[in-house]
Amino acid sequence: MTMTTICFWKPYDVLTKFTDAEGRATLADYVNLPNIYASGRLDRDSEGLLLLTDDKRLSTRLTEPKFGHPRTYWVQVERVPDAAALQKLRQGVEIKGGLTRPAQARLLDSAPDLPPRPVPIRYRKNVPDCWLELTLTEGRNRQVRRMTAAVGHPTLRLVRWAIGSITLEGLEPGLWRELDAAEMKALWQSVRG
């Protein structure tokens, strides 16, 4: 039996499920494939890479914490974090639920080339912002937002760029594509745990 796995650029304000009793935007507005489900989640106010699959084994590997695999986020934050704040992110930050696993954290030299968000980011004339790249190996509820807030730099915009070696490259918000054999092999290698 052939399994299907796709990468999808979840737009801002879209729920990571296929139905919603309140009529809000869901995955069903963008993906019309049978028996395929999201492997993981992104909050409604977050954007970016979401993997969907009909392979239950792969889905388990992508969602179970013990198979921690890298997830890379581009995060626009208030103010410019100093070396101490970045080091805290790298070592682990105390948030609800305990200390986070160590993360990779770096300042991006410039804002990533992303399409504008449909709802503008809060702008404050006297408060600069910057972009960080964070790579985590766990996925707690609203973890990136909680981590940046804990070091004094609230998140303004959050885009998941990559899961393992799979990236949003070549996609636009609301679009998806099926992973090829080489990408599937690399994805499986990243979730072997």
Rounded Cα distance, 13 and 59, in Å: 23
- 72 - beta bridge partners? 135, 162
Of these residues, 13, 20, 29, 43, which one is catalytic? Answer: 43
43 is catalytic: yes
H/E run at residue 9: strand 5-10
Render 120-173 in DSSP notation, one character per residue: PPP--TTS-EEEEEEEES---TTHHHHHHHHTT--EEEEEEEEETTEE-TT--T
**181-190 helix and 56-63 helix, angle to the nearest 10 degrees:** 40
Question: Would you tell me how many other CB atoms lie within 10 Å of the CB of residue 143?
Answer: 21
For residue 153, what are its two tokens?
């730099």
Active-site residue set: 43
